[in-house]
């Protein structure tokens, strides 16, 4: 290339680049104002609006009441106070300011009508009807705003929607909300987030913020993947040596019994269930620091290597230990559902261990390590069944041919829709996670790929699709800790929340972008460090 050709090419390239970088000023996506996330099943919104003065506004209980309701109204009034303080912070003094056309004046009260008492509803339910609510902001001046629900869990969801109807305008001290009628309920009963607290220990402050954000997104299951190969941060009273020796730090990286109870209570009052997972027989290396007899010793050329693999299915001690351990865990976690793992079982150490292989010969399983995996999981299922525990397992247990009890829930994480279809065709209830792995990163705005996923996107009968209980977004923690885990989850998991709550294909991308821009800003204002969902933009804080 001669100098003239080079100069021409350089000039052409420069002109191309300069043209491609010409953009309009302002946010890439204009955020909505006062839109509810997840999108309600049925909503009518009007141009008429109220302003809300926090000093005059109150929640008024016209039906049943309980501590759960009292706690909730206190929480939501604080959110209103915070929004009001942000509006006041950025107020611009405008002389002779007048309310615009369509104003209905001030809204002083939200009447809350809880129809059924909270008695017997100490913990949230999987029944999606329990979260149904009706919210009405009148379209006439002097009307009363009303929130009605049969159960306290519906009231909690309705209060969240009411709080999201509120918005502020730049330079205006007022809080506004439009006249609105909402009839709403979730599409799926199980809407979860998995948090891995083993690969990196997650402090309680992070877990509490996660639970706050789950309430803001109407997600109702905290799947606590509490232990794994790397560390055992769960304190067991019966076996305290497990966390004392198997955690990263015996006091600085352990969840005490009190910690766990506090998390469960914090979640409960926000309508969130806490489902613990003790993954087995694989992912158990940290258990073996204190109790190596639980695990399978690895051999090389017939010689022990001082390395360990999964739990040893040939030892009766393992099952007696698990009976005692899971009995205590059931007493700690009141949730009926317990995740027993069953994923990614490596056969390497099983293949080399002479004692295990002799046992396999005696059981007629010579060389069939998948049969060993089945044997172990069936023994564990037999342990939990008399306890009234409803087990959840990863899809490997199903693929291995384990004889699952009819109520055992299969969580699909790698096989996608083909696996999901096989599970429900076999009559097993299922959860979908394949397309909602939050540790899989992509370019900006990758919430769209999560929004594209739907638990019913497979060819099946209505009966089969009804076996899909919902799904979970999974936050595995190999490369996230307290410094970045929340921003990695939000607002990407918000897309999952809407797919599990709202009607099928509830909204168009362009509208979703605008609503998610507002919702991310809303979470930021509420101290949830949600990352930008789209591109350039700004949020008053």
Query: Which residue, 158, 184, 210, sits at the end of a domain?
Result: 184
Q: Is residue 6 part of a domain?
A: no
Per-residue pLDDT at 8: 45
Per-residue pLDDT at 10: 47
**293: which residues sit within 8 A by CB, 6+ positions away?**
312, 315, 317
Tally Cβ neighbours within 10 Å of residue 301: 6
**Catalytic residue among 70, 344, 425, 478, which?**
344
In angstroms and rounded to an integer, the radius of gyration of the C-alpha atoms of the chain is 27
8 Å CB contact between 177 and 107: yes
Query: Which residue, 165, 184, 203, sits at the end of a domain?
Result: 184
Per-residue pLDDT at 99: 54
8 Å CB contact between 295 and 288: yes
Q: Is residue 18 part of a domain?
A: no
Residue 93 structure tokens: 């003094």
Residue 91 or residue 278, greater confidence = 278
3-state secondary structure of 517: helix
Pairing label, strands 167-168, 133-137: unpaired
- Ranges of beta strands (E only) in 247-384 are 273-280, 295-300, 303-311, 337-341
Query: Which residue, 146, 161, 184, sits at the end of a domain?
Result: 184
CA distance 538 to 30: 10
Give the CATH number of the domain where residue 358 resides. 3.20.20.80
Average pLDDT score over residue span 411-417: 97
310-326 pLDDT per residue, tens: 999 999 999 999 999 99
Q: What is the reported pTM?
A: 0.94
8 Å CB contact between 278 and 227: yes
CA distance 395 to 404: 11
Number of domains in the chain: 2
Q: Is residue 413 part of a domain?
A: yes
Domain ranges, residue 159: 42-184
Would you say residue 17 has pLDDT above 60? no
Examine the domain organization and report whether 303 and 243 are in the same domain: yes
Cα 436 to the chain's mean position, in Å? Answer: 10
460-472 burial: b if 16+ Cβ within 10 Å, else e: beeebbebbbbbb
Average pLDDT score over residue span 379-389: 97
Residue 540 structure tokens: 């008053």
Q: Is residue 534 part of a domain?
A: no
Q: Is 351 a catalytic residue?
A: no
Give the CATH number of the domain where residue 173 resides. 3.30.379.10
Mean pLDDT value across the chain: 93
Examine the domain organization and report whether 305 and 428 are in the same domain: yes
Give how far Cα 532 sits from Cα of 26, 487, 506, Å.
15, 9, 22
Per-residue pLDDT at 97: 55
Q: Is residue 516 part of a domain?
A: no
Q: Is residue 161 part of a domain?
A: yes
């Amino acid at each position: 290339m001669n100098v003239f050709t080079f100069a021409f090419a350089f000039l052409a390239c420069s002109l191309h680049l300069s043209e491609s970088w010409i953009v309009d000023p302002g946010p890439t996506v204009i955020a909505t104002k006062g839109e509810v996330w997840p999108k309600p099943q049925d909503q009518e919104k009007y141009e008429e609006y109220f302003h809300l003065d926090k000093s005059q506004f109150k929640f008024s209980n016209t039906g049943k009441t309980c501590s759960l309701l009292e706690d909730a109204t206190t929480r939501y009034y604080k959110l209103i106070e915070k929004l009001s303080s942000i509006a006041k912070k950025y107020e611009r003094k405008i002389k002779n300011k007048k309310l615009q056309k369509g104003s209905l004046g001030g809204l002083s009260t939200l009447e809350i009508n809880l129809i059924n008492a909270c008695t017997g509803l100490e913990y949230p339910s999987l029944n999606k009807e329990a979260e149904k609510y009706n919210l009405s902001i009148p379209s006439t001046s002097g009307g009363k705003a009303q929130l009605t629900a049969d159960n306290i869990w519906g009231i909690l969801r309705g209060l969240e929607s009411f709080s999201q109807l509120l918005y502020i305008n730049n330079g205006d001290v007022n809080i506004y909300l439009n006249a609105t009628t909402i009839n709403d309920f979730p599409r799926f009963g199980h809407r979860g987030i998995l948090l891995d607290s083993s690969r990196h220990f997650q402090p309680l402050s992070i877990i509490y913020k996660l639970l706050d954000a789950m309430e803001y997104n109407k997600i109702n299951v905290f799947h606590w993947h509490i232990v794994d190969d790397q560390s055992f941060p769960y304190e067991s009273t019966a076996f305290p040596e497990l966390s004392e020796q198997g955690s990263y730090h015996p006091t600085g990286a352990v969840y005490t019994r009190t910690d766990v109870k506090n998390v469960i209570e914090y979640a409960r009052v926000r309508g969130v269930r806490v489902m613990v997972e003790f993954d087995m027989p694989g992912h158990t290396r940290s258990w073996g620091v204190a109790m190596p007899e639980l695990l399978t010793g690895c051999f090389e050329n017939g010689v022990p290597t001082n390395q360990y693999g999964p739990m040893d299915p040939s030892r009766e001690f393992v099952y007696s230990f698990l009976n005692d351990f899971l009995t205590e865990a059931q007493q700690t976690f009141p949730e009926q559902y317990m995740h027993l793992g069953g994923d990614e079982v490596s056969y390497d150490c099983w293949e080399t261990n002479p004692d295990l292989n002799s046992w396999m010969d005696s059981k007629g399983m010579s060389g069939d390590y998948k049969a060993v995996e089945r044997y172990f999981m069936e023994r564990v299922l037999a342990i939990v069944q008399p306890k009234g525990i409803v087990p959840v397992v990863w899809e490997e247990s199903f693929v291995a041919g384990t004889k699952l009890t009819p109520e055992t829930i299969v969580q699909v994480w790698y096989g996608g829709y083909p696996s999901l279809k096989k599970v429900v065709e076999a009559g097993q209830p299922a959860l979908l996670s394949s397309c909602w792995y939050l540790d899989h990163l992509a370019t900006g705005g990758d919430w769209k790929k999560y929004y594209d996923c739907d638990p019913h996107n497979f060819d099946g009968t209505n009966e089969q699709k009804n076996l899909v209980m919902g799904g979970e977004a999974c936050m595995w923690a190999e490369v996230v800790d307290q410094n970045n885990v929340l921003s990695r989850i939000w607002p990407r998991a918000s897309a999952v929340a809407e797919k599990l709550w709202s009607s099928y294909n509830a909204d168009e991308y362009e509208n979703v972008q605008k609503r998610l821009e507002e919702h991310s800003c809303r979470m930021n204002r509420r101290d949830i460090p949600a990352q930008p969902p789209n591109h350039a933009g700004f949020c008053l804080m």
